[in-house]
Structure 1
């Protein structure tokens, strides 16, 4: 029997890659998410407050999701099987999501006070008016920082807090993103460039983990040939990674300077409209969820909340995975999300 030529493995890999790419080109990729919603209000320019109706009426308190400015929120509703939002609506919660939209050139002067004191405040007030109860806030990454600021400065707007992979101490060992930020003149960058382009920021994030985010994920792509559901999931995640909004210049510079460079959230030097944000003022029941192998928000950066929050009703959940795994992994949806839903039902 003749032996396979030495390059037969590479030829087969190339064939399956071409087959996968051809199949992928025929699949539509919807970035609105898998769960139906209605547009409820417009808290700010180009922003929308989405409402996801509960699957059943159980009297559960509304949940307002505060997402990061950096990416689009459909990672929380990627597919019907992998949806944080669907898990909450199945448990009977009316779910609201503040979609920050895509900043335009004129939005370069929007600062953190605008996003938190005005737009997030307006969204929380709208939810309370519509549902008859102040919402539980679920803050995601940078959005968790915004949620903490709102709870510290306007405690009546918030009932309880759930933070997912939220940085609190921006100067922990092993925080590569923070180390990079120390070398940036944020004010000069935004004065020169205006709004920060999504392409530039995506390049920064890829540089933190280049092999995993570039070579490895594409080397595995041919394995999806003939598996349309898995390929569709891959394409949706791929679209999420690169469908990022530009960053409003002023808010971007303030967050980089005050949080990453000065560690102002932890030290109490971050101010909004002249009012300092003190984590010790937060007395709401709080659940802090972090990922043990997170390359963007190290576990120590998130765990620091326990030593500075004023709440005596504080708990933590450690997830044995990475940053994205908290939202899309099978383990998260089988083990982590049910525990978050159970905590909200207490």
Structure 2
């Protein structure tokens, strides 16, 4: 049968429809076989706490930390920090442990109404500083800091305010110039009446934040990926991986209202790093005081933190030991792709070992 006026073969269309139905039937069977999935693959132990904020030390399986400063991971507030330890075969943490790093992470917890008035000063000069002080006391010297996304911006502020406590700084997919032309998220919030927004809502609901991120690429993130999920129905392992990622994406904390207000105003609307206007707790943040070695890793296909937004750091820090690395991947792929497992932990470890 020849193609019709719409230039498709009805037999091909029928075969495709049959294959799709077969995948759906497989899905009914496989979903019944898939156990409940969770993220966070590596055993960890609590070593310090302040309210809901907990410092965990990762305990490797059969690995021994080499001599050297502890490595503290500071993640963003908008998601749970275990994207860096999603599952056994997709774990930045596991790769770093295997290479001998002593790895810690700050878990911010889930803010509730009692946290409505937490500020950036609380997050940076209370929580991060408290965790760092604990590690400095345990290790006897300054630590290595690894800041991820918004956590990288926090780490830059912290390193500028407390440079004597940070031996080496690693930033990953970290926004520095918040107003690059290709920054879609910045374009959305630059004219937001954030005072009205926070005064009305108090804490910012996680579901609202997730909806905003999904609408940056509405077709791909709301439709295409779920159509693609059907192709995994015959593969329990692939389906588990997909469901684990979905669980992580939608297990998001609310945002403490005052900290959200301050971050949007200073950085997205005021571009505070670039304009030299950043201030935390009444203290001016001058990136010129970030004089320790800096490794800045960005993702070349990042739609949340475009490469130019991260690369702006080179001209702002005071360090004379600055290294920049572009990773072929996206904002999430830099942690979970097979390429990332091969390249990212080894790059960070090698860079730290040389210093």
Partner residue in 2 for 1:49: 55
Task: Calculate the TM-score normalised by the size of structure 2.
Answer: 0.93
Contact 1:96 1:127 in 2 (8 A): no
Partner-residue secondary structure (3-state), 2:174 = coil
Q: Who is 2:44 aligned against?
A: 37
The within-5 A match list for 1:47-196 is: 47-54=53-60, 55-196=63-204
Q: Counterpart of 1:78 in 2: which secondary structure?
A: strand
Q: Which moved more, 1:258-267 or 1:333-342?
A: 333-342
Point out the more displaced range, 44-53 or 140-149.
44-53
Q: Specify the alignment match of 2:243 in structure 1.
A: 235
Residue number among 20, 26, 37 corresponding to 1:13 in the alignment: 20
**2:278 and 2:284 in contact (8 A); partners too:** yes
The CA deviation string for residues 237-277 of structure 1, in whole angstroms up to 9 with x for no partner, is: 11111110000000001101110000012222111121111
With the length of structure 1 as denominator, give the TM-score of the two structures. Answer: 0.95
Give CA-to-partner distance per residue, 1:129-172, whole Å, 9 cap, x none.
12333220000000001110111001112111000000000111
Q: Is the 8 A contact 1:160 1:285 kept in 2?
A: yes
Partner of 1:278: 286
Report how far residue 30 of structure 1 moved. Answer: 1.6
- Give the distance between the partners of 1:283 and 1:156, measured in 2 at CA: 10
In 2, the alpha carbon distance for the partners of 1:6 and 1:58 equals 59
For 1:226 and 1:68, how far apart are their aligned partners in 2? Answer: 35
Aligned to 2:310: 302
Q: Distance between the aligned counterparts of 1:295 and 1:6, measured in 2?
A: 34
Alpha carbons of structure 1 residues 18 and 255: separation in structure 2 relative to 1, 3 Å: farther
Deviation at 1:212, TM superposition (A): 1.9
Specify the structure having the higher radius of gyration (Cα). 2
Taking the aligned partners of 2:320 and 2:41, their CA distance within structure 1 comes to: 37
Residue 336 (structure 1) shift: 3.0
Q: Tell me, which stretches of 5 or more residues in structure 2 are unaligned?
A: 1-9
- Return the alpha-carbon distance in structure 1 between the equivalents of residues 18 and 78 of structure 2: 39
1:223 is aligned to 231
Secondary structure in 2 aligned to 1:166?
A: coil
Q: More deviation in 54-63 or 256-265?
A: 54-63
Change (3 A) 1:87 1:274: same
Find the partner of 1:24 among 31, 34, 37. Answer: 31
Q: Deviations over 1:275-316 (max 9, x none)?
A: 111111110100000011110001000000000100000001
Q: Shift of residue 74 of structure 1?
A: 1.3
The 3 A distance-change label for structure 1 pair 134 and 221 is same
CA distance in 1, matches of 2:189, 2:235: 41
268-277 vs 198-207, greater mean Cα deviation: 268-277
For residue 323 of structure 1, give the secondary structure of its aligned residue in structure 2.
Answer: coil
User: Of the candidates 324, 328, 338, which is equivalent to residue 330 of structure 1?
Assistant: 338
Q: Is the 8 A contact 1:20 1:221 kept in 2?
A: no
Instruction: Tell me the number of residue pairs that the alignment of Structure 1 and Structure 2 aligns.
Output: 342
User: Shift of the alpha carbon at 1:6?
Assistant: 4.3
Is 1:258 equivalent to 2:257 in the alignment?
no
